[in-house]
Chain A
Amino acid sequence: MSHDGHHSVVIPAPGPEFVPHTVAHHFDTPVQEFQAAKLGFWLFLATEILLFGGLFAAYFYFHEAYPETFRVGGHQLDWRLGALNTSVLLLSSWTMAMGVRSAQTSQKQKTLLFCGLTVLGAVIFMVIKFFEYQAKNEHGLVVFSELFAPYDAATGSIPWFKDYHGVMAGLPHGHLFFAIYLTMTAIHGLHVVIGAGLILWIMKGAAKGRFHAGYFLPVDLVGLYWHLVDLIWIFLFPLLYLVP
C-alpha cells in the first residue's frame, strides 16, 4: 500500500543477525500496533473458548442425563496415558513461555531451541493420542473404518460402535460417551496440530531474525494460542478420564 509520503515507523534491529520491523502504515506507534494485535488476539481466544463451551455444555448435559454411561465409559479410557499427555502439554507450555522470553531478550538460538522443544511436545502428544485412539479402535468402542458408514434406522445400531467386549452392555446409549470423547479430543487435537504449525512458522521467522527485543508480537500471540490449547486439555483430562 502506498504511503502518500507519510513516513513509517521503523524499529531498528538490535544486532546484525536480526532484521528491523516496520510498523504498519495505519498505526502511529509500535505500542499502538502491539496493543491492537494483542487485544484482537485475546478476543479471538474468547471465541475459541466459547466454541469449546458448546461442547462442554453438551458434555455436562449428557453426563447428567446418562451418569452411568459416563461412569463406565470413563473407565475405558487409560488415565495413565491421559496423565502423561497432560504432563507433556504442561511441559510444552513452559518451553513455549521460555521461547517467548528468549525472543523478548533477543536470544535467537534459544528462541529456536525452545520453540523446537514445544513442537516436539506437540508431536509426542499426538503420538500418545494415536495409541489411545488405536486402543479404542481395537475394543470396538470407536471403529474408525466404520466412522462415516450410514446409520441403519431399522436395527438402531451405530456402525462405528461395536463394543466387542460388551463393556457398555445394558447401559443407555453407550456410544454417546465415546462420540463426545472423540469429538472433543479430535477438535482439541486439530488445535494441537494448528498450534504446532504456527510454532514452526514462528521458527522460520526467528531463523531469519525477525523477532527481537524491539518486536516479538507474533511469538507472543502464538504463545498465547499454545497456552489456550494446553488450558483446554487441562479441562478435558479430568472431565473425560477422572470425573466419571
Chain B
Amino acid sequence: MTTNVPVIDSHAAAPQAGRKNFLNCSQGFWSWAGTLDHKRIGIMYLVGVSIALLAGGLFALLVRLHLWKPEGVLFGNVEYNQIFTLHGAFMVFLFVIPAIPGSLGNIVLPLMLGAKDVALPRLNLLSFYLWVTGAVLATLAIVLGGFDTGWTFYAPYSLYTDQAVVTIGLAVFVLGFSSIFTGLNFIVTTHKLRAPGMTWFRMPLFVWAIYATSILQVLATPVLGITVLLVAFERLYHIGIFDPRLGGDPVLFEHFFWFYSHPAVYIMVLPAFGIISELVSVHSRKPLFGYKLIAFSSLAIAIISFLVWGHHMFTSGQSTYAMFAFSFLTFFVAIPTAIKEFSWVATVWKGSIALNSPMLYTLAFLVIFAIGGLTGVILGALNVDIHLHDTYFVVAHFHYVMMGSIALAFFAGLHHWWPKIFGVIYDETLAKIACGIIFVGFNATFIPQFIMGSRGMPRRYATYVPEYEPFHQASTVGAMVLGGGVALMVFYLVASLFQRKTAMQNQWGGVTLDWLSPTPPPLENFDEPPTVTTEVYDYSTLDYKTMQTPVA
C-alpha cells in the first residue's frame, strides 16, 4: 500500500459507459423536490443559500454605494436602515448559518462516515422546506413594508417601530427550527451510522466540526426561537417582558438574544474550521498536525461559547463582576481557536503543497481568520471595548470572521468538493484569479473600516462627518472589487456545469471515505458498504490511479 509511484492503468481509465449516479438516477421536478437523498437535498440547499448570498451581497453593495458621500447618496434614513437590516438578516439567517451544514455538510458528512444517507432523511427534507418557508416569510416581510431593526431586533426599538417585525420574527423562528433539525439529524447520523471500523478518532475533522456545530444548533437555537416569539407576542399583546414602559427590561432581551447569537457565531464558524482542516491536509498531502487537539478544541469551543454572550453587552450597564467573567471567558475561547490556527499552519509546514484553487482559498482563510480572531481578542478587553463598541471596528472584526473566514471557507469547500459532487472541473486559472480578486477586494473593504472604527465612526449610520469620507470611499471601492470577484466565481462555477470538462475520480488525492466512493456518488453512496481499517489522513493508502481516472 506504500506505492508512491504514480501508475497509469489504461484499463481503469476507460470510462464505464452509463454508470448510474445520484444526479442521473432519476429525472423530473418531483425526483428533486420530493427527494430523500442527502446529496440532492444538499444541492437544493446549495442553490438556496447561493441565492441568499447574492441577494445579501447586493444589499451590501447598495449600503456601500450609499455611503460614498457623507450625506448619503441613494436612500433616505429609513430606507438605509431597511437595506442594512436586509443585508444582515439575509446573510446571517439565510446564508451563513445554513450554508455549510445545509449544503456541504449534507452532501459530505454521510459520505465521510460511510453511511447510505443521514439517519432521518424525511426530517432532512423538512429542514430544507422550513428553510424555504423562512426565506419566503423574510421576502414577504420586505413586501409588507420592510424591517429596520437591524438583524439583532433589539428591544425596545423592535417593539415600537411600525414595520413588519412580526413577519420577520416568524421567519427567524421557522429558520431556527430548520437549523435545529439539521443539527439533530447530524448528531444522530454521527452516533448511529458510522461504517464498521469508523471509530470516533478515525472520523475526519469536518465531521467533528459539524458534530460540535450540531450540539450548538440543538442547544442554543430554541432560546432564539422563544426570544423572537416573545418579541412578536410583545408587539401583539404587550406582555411587558422587554418593554420598559410596561415594567419589562430591554437588557433581558439582549441576554436572551446573545445567549443564542454568540454560540451562533460558532454555529457559523465551526463548519468553516472543519472545511479548512480537511483542505490543509489534502492539499498538503500530510496528516493533520494535532488531530485530537483540533477535534477536542471544537468541543471546547462548543462549550465555552455558551459562556461569553455578555461581551456583546459591555456598555449595557450589566454587573461589573459579570463583565470581568465575560471578558476573561472571551479571552479563554481564543485558546482552542488559536490551537486550530497553529495546527493548520503546522500541517502545511513541510507538506507537499499543491496550490490548487481550493488551497488558495484556504491560505486566504488562514490569513484573514488570524486577523478576524485577533481583533476579537482586542474587543474582548473591557476598557478597549468601551471605546470601540458599536463602531466600524466591530463591523470590520465580525466581517473578517463571518465573510472573510466563513464565506471563504465555504468557497474553498465548494471548489474542493465541486468535482466530487458534479463530476466536472471548473476553469482552474479563472478560479485562481477570482480567489486573488476576492482576497484583495475583501481586505480593501474592511481594513479602512478598522481604521475609521478606531477613530470613532459609529456603525449603522446613514450619514457621517466628512473626515471619514476617504475611508468610506476606499471601502466602497473594495466592496465593488469583492463583488466582482464573487461574480466571476459564480460565472465559472456555473459555466463548468455546461462545459462538462470531466473531473478525476479523486481530483485532489483525498483519502477520507468521501473520496473513496465513486464520483459522482451513486444513490446509496458506495457500491459496497465500506469498512474502515486504516487511521484517518493516512496518505500511504492513497491510490494514485484514482487521481488519473476520469469520471465515467
Contacts and interface: CB of A to CB of B under 8 A. Distances in A.
Interface stretch (A35-43, A75-83, A122-130, A204-212): A35-43
A241 to B, nearest CB: 20
Interface of B: 20, 25-26, 36-37, 115-117, 119-121, 123, 180, 184-185, 187-189, 191-193, 218-219, 221-223, 225-227, 230, 233, 236-241, 245-249, 252, 256, 522-524, 529
A170 interface: no
Contacts of B225: 51
Interface in A171-211: 172-173, 175-176, 179-180, 183
Contacts of B222: 47-48, 50-51, 53-54
A61 interface: yes
Contact of A179 (B192, B221, B238): B238
B214 to A, nearest CB: 9
B185 A2 contact: no
A147 interface: yes
6 contacts: A148-B236, A148-B237, A173-B246, A176-B240, A176-B248, A180-B241
A148 B248 CA distance: 18
A158 interface: yes
Contacts of B252: 58, 61
A114 interface: no
B185 A40 contact: yes
B167 to A, nearest CB: 15
A97 B469 CA distance: 69
Interface in A134-183: 147-148, 151, 153, 156, 158-160, 172-173, 175-176, 179-180, 183
Contact of B192 (A4, A6, A32, A172): A32
A1 interface: yes
Given A26-B116, A36-B192, A51-B222, A147 B237 contact: yes
Contacts of B189: 36
Contacts, number: 125
B187 A39 contact: yes
B247 A173 contact: yes
Contact of A4 (B117, B218, B524, B529): B524
Question: What is the size category of the interface that chain A forms with chain B?
Answer: 35 or more
A175 B191 contact: no
A53 B248 CA distance: 18
Contacts of B218: 43, 46-47
Contacts of A55: 226
Nearest to B240: A176
Nearest to A57: B256
B240 A179 contact: yes
A2 B523 contact: yes
Contacts of A151: 238
A62 interface: yes
Nearest to B35: A1
A51 B222 CA distance: 5
A90 to B, nearest CB: 26
A170 to B, nearest CB: 14
Contacts of B123: 40
Nearest to A54: B226
B227 A54 contact: yes
A1 B524 CA distance: 10
B230 A58 contact: yes
A44 interface: yes
Nearest to B115: A26
B43 to A, nearest CB: 16
A39 B26 CA distance: 32
Contacts of B116: 25-26
